[in-house]
Amino acid sequence: MSVEFKNRAAVLAGFEKAPREMKRALRKSAAETARQVRGTVRSAAASGTPQQARMARGIGSSANSTSAIITVKNTRSAPGALGSLYGSKRFRQFPAWVGNSWKPLTRGEGPAHSRWLAPRKHEIEQRFVDGQLAALDQALPR
């Protein structure tokens, strides 16, 4: 997921110089957005194929002050999470591999979780931006 800013370099430079409280507020906001999106992806996985439903526990989230991140990991409780969402060239129990030239959140492209979130792209971007603006309002003095 990405949001485009005009003067991106200047904005990012400002974030790097931001006070610790503002970065903390931005990170908390991004983490909340990531948790909400993770819940959406996990519920979509639960209603996907039986294999994807079993591997939903491998879908996680993290954040920093400038981004919300959805992660997919193979774990003990979800050993085939990567294969069930991204596919595989080697193992037949997984769908076909999606490759590495897909655009995130584009209908019909990429791994399963990207296709599930594509219809909600605008909603997710708006949620992220609203959270970031609220965090900035909270952190910056008026």
Could you tell me the pLDDT band of residue 140, with boundaries at 50, 70 and 90? Answer: low
E strand or H helix at 127, and its extent?
A: helix 121-139
Domain ranges of the chain: 19-139
pLDDT of 4 over the 70 cut: no
* Residue with more model confidence, 14 or 119: 119
Tens digit of pLDDT for each residue in 57-99?
Answer: 999 999 998 899 999 999 888 999 999 988 888 888 888 888 8
Tens digit of pLDDT for each residue in 30-45?
Answer: 999 999 999 999 999 9
In three-state secondary structure terms, 100 is coil
Question: What pLDDT is recorded for position 100?
Answer: 80
